[in-house]
Amino acid sequence: MLMKKHIVCLGDSNTHGYCADPADCADGGSRFNEDERWTCLLQKKLGEKYLVLEEGLGGRTSVFSDPLHDAMDALSAANPILLSHEPVDLLIIMLGTNDTKARFNAHAAVIAAGMERLIRKCRETDCWTNQKPNILVVCPPPMGEGFHDDVMGDGCREKSQQLPVYLEAAARRCGVHYVNAEACEFNAVDHMHLSRKGHAQLAELLADIVPGLMS
């Protein structure tokens, strides 16, 4: 039996499956279950020839060290994560929402520059099938109009709205794949986490793209 194609999903709470509205989650908890998370739905859609590996952490940034929480930047975690799942056929990175926090003082262009640094780090990690780096950057949906979080600070929503242009340009400069998940629904409670419908929409979007990236 041939080894399955390994797809590593590196992200934040929207990859971990955080549910801000218990009424939207079948289990009534704070995390969507395996029938609801986009990573698990993507696995079902792709089938047994693929292995979708979840690497989601609430609060994770691309490169910024968080003074309030330990070990939140993907840059320092990327090497052990990728090597632990070697060989990697595709890395999906969906980050950027937490980078907009006021305490990082980073506008959209700086966030995209951080993503470029992360992409380069991942490309250089010796984990890739046939030594061929293969990365898909997913721009998260912009925060909704009702977003407000005193701890995250001001300006988050505006920066999230500006991210697509900069992240797409960063992906293009790095020669990696890019897709905008703007059509995937955020919930109406905190306006920054995927709803159950949004998870299904993201899985559908990626299921249409991913096989073509590994042919």
What average pLDDT does the segment 93-118 reach? Answer: 98
Q: Is 1 a member of any domain?
A: no
pLDDT tens digits along 64-101: 999 999 999 999 999 999 999 999 999 999 999 999 99
Whether 177 has a pLDDT exceeding 80, the answer reads: yes
Whether 107 has a pLDDT exceeding 80, the answer reads: yes
**Which of 71-79's residues contact partners 24+ apart within 8 Å by CB, and which partners?**
72/98, 74/10, 74/118, 75/114, 75/117, 75/118, 75/121, 78/10, 78/118, 78/121, 78/122, 78/125, 79/121, 79/125
pLDDT value at residue 44 = 98
pLDDT tens digits along 135-160: 999 999 999 999 999 999 999 999 99
Query: What are the distances in angstroms from CA 17 to CA 11, 117, 129, 139?
Result: 10, 26, 28, 16
pLDDT value at residue 2 = 86
Whether 215 has a pLDDT exceeding 80, the answer reads: no
Of the chain, the percentage scoring pLDDT greater than 70 comes to 100
Whether 212 has a pLDDT exceeding 80, the answer reads: yes
Which stretches of the chain are DSSP H helices? Answer: 13-16, 38-46, 74-84, 108-124, 156-174, 196-213
CATH of the domain at 117: 3.40.50.1110
> Domain total for the chain?
1
pLDDT value at residue 1 = 73
pLDDT tens digits along 18-39: 999 999 999 999 999 999 999 9
Q: Is 98 a member of any domain?
A: yes
To which residue do tokens 């990626």 refer?
A: 206
pLDDT value at residue 173 = 98
Q: Is 53 a member of any domain?
A: yes
Q: Is 169 a member of any domain?
A: yes
Query: What are the distances in angstroms from CA 32 to CA 35, 112, 189?
Result: 8, 29, 15
Angle between helices 196-213 and 38-46 (to 10 degrees): 40
Q: Is 167 a member of any domain?
A: yes
Q: How confident is the model at residue 47 (pLDDT cuts 50, 70, 90)?
A: very high
The residue range of the domain holding 42 is 6-213
Whether 114 has a pLDDT exceeding 90, the answer reads: yes
